[in-house]
Structure 1
Amino acid sequence: MLWERMRPWLSDITIEDDPLKQHVHGIKFLMQGTWTPIALNSVWRLGRYQPDGHFAPHFDGYFVRNSKERSLQTFMLYLNEGFEGGSTNFVDESQTLFRDWDGKYCAEEKNIVCGIQPEAGMAIVFNHQRLHEGQKLGSGVKYILRTDIMFRNLSQTSRSANEEKALQLVQEAERKEASGDCLEAAELYRKAFKLSSEVEAAYGT
């Protein structure tokens, strides 16, 4: 029912050049074409923030089912209101590492492009590769639900089994790299590049 209510508000995404120009992460040659929204990811995350809780500026992760189906956007649903602070701030990408007086990483006021104060039942949708933060909560408790919007590429033909496997390995390698497990990430990249010369070339190796 939730998908049926929100589907009319969603649009196709057409990528003809570098996907990062549209705040989309992915290998350029695999991202070309028109992507249409098809469903919500079945995996949901419940977030709970207490006073002083925050989420430093970041990009959201993504989920790849195969070369033609993947998530491109975040769906965030606010479950309550009536707390102090806790806005979702979208941040200019010129923002460098910055700590507030309390030592928490956050965006400088001058780099906040847009701030959204949660209201119960409000939902926001944005491309994963758009820098944002969860502002520090002053008082009260904040609850959110988050998942992804899945898209299908209408333009590209199916890829080989090796390319599909390479794509899955790259996704896992990026997760390992983000968590600091660089040796494991390097091994996964090596396996991916061995399976697909196009994927290897996309990473400039």
Structure 2
Amino acid sequence: MEYRGRLLGLQDSDFVAISHENTDTATQGKRGTFLVLDDLLTTAEIAQLLAEASAQRFGQPHNKHGEFIDDASLRNDVAVTIRWESVAQLLWPRIQSFLPDHSLRRFGRRGSLNPRLRFSKYGPGGKFRCHYDSPFIDPDDPHNVSQYTLLVYLTEVAEGGETRFVDAEHTPPLVLDVKPKAGRAVVFDYNVMHCGREVVAGEKVVMKADVMVENTRAKLPPGALD
């Protein structure tokens, strides 16, 4: 995994590293990229998001394809999805410059944030088993496909609830736990295994969105670039 947290001003105390004494070595691998951004949202913006999500009816979680997840061994949160164009437009320029050059700045590619925002709430005992995320394909445009997950923490958690990133390239696997902090965001691609560790005390609320990359070159008529 490529770890860019230090480049963005994070301190060692923000992380809990285990299975390896050297956190730099523990987060270097061949596959996957993740980065951590602090203060992506202001206190007022966090309050607005929490108020809107709380006004909705949290219920059984579902995946990005709209299929309900009925497996408490996988995850045991409650969730709600809100289509919120203004929030997607607000956050996209804040994260865009931090994404790897090859994913968005290559000729013919244009990025955006999917306005379909998924809010999840975990109480004590809440957790999400280790897994890989999968891409979302825009049903109205098959050339518009997600490349990254954006995960934003909206609450502080008294104990537990870390997002655990697993570098499975090593034997034994190396892990790094990112502590929930209101306004902190994690961006990662689909080669990164991760899980939500159990909340011991407090309440964890996160917002999840897909970073979309539209292959505009593929949509041009044949010969247009000749």
Q: TM-score, normalised by structure 2?
A: 0.50
Structure 2 counterpart of 1:111: 173
Task: Report percent identity of matched pairs.
Answer: 32
SS at 1:9 equivalent: coil
Do residues 88 (structure 1) and 177 (structure 2) align? no
Residues 168 and 174 of structure 2 are in contact (CA less than 8 Å); yes or no, is this contact kept in structure 1? no
| One-letter amino acid of the structure 2 residue matched with residue 90 of structure 1 | F
Query: Could you say which residue in structure 2 is the equivalent of 1:4?
Result: 93
CA contact (8 A) 1:39 1:151 kept: yes
Query: C-alpha deviations, 1:128-175, integer Å up to 9, x for none?
Result: 23110001111111000001000022554669xxxxxxxxxxxxxxxx
Contact 1:73 1:150 in 2 (8 A): yes
**Alignment coverage as a number of residue pairs:** 129
Alpha-carbon deviation of 1:82? 3.6
The one-character-per-residue Cα deviations of 1:45-103 (angstroms, maximum 9, x if unpaired) are 101011111000011132112442100100000001142011101113379xxxxxxxx
1:43 matched to 2:132? The reply is no
SS at match of 1:4: helix
For the residues of structure 2 that align with 1:41 and 1:115, how far apart are their CA atoms? 26
Q: Give the distance between the partners of 1:59 and 1:35, measured in 2 at CA.
A: 27
Residue of structure 1 in register with 2:38 after alignment: none
CA distance in 1, matches of 2:212, 2:190: 12
Q: Residue 35 of structure 1: CA displacement?
A: 7.5
Query: Which among 119, 137, 145 is matched to residue 207 of structure 2?
Result: 145
Secondary structure in structure 2 of the residue aligned to 1:13: helix
2:130 is matched with which residue?
57
Structure 1: runs of 5+ lacking an equivalent: 15-32, 96-109, 160-205
Name the CA distance, whole Å, in 1 between partners of 2:108 and 2:199. Answer: 36
Instruction: Classify 1:80/1:151 alpha carbon distance in 2 versus 1 (closer, same or farther; 3 Å).
Output: same
Mapped pair 1:79 → 2:141 = no
Indicate how the Cα distance of structure 1 residues 114 and 36 shifts in structure 2: closer, same or farther if over 3 A, else same. farther
Q: For 1:34 and 1:11, how far apart are their aligned partners in 2? A: 14
Counterpart of 1:117, as a letter, is K
The SS at the match of 2:125 is coil
SS at match of 1:81: coil
Bigger proportion of residues as helix: 1
In the aligned structure 2, how far is the partner of 1:52 from the partner of 1:39?
A: 34
**Which residue in 1 is equivalent to 2:14?**
none
The match for 1:68 among 143, 147, 157 is 143
Looking at structure 1, the residues matched to 173 and 108 of structure 2 have their Cα atoms a distance apart, in angstroms, of 30
* 1:12 shift after superposition: 3.7
C-alpha distance in 2, partners of 1:72/1:41?
11
- Give the TM-score normalised by the residue count of structure 1: 0.55
Q: Is the 8 A contact 1:35 1:154 kept in 2?
A: yes
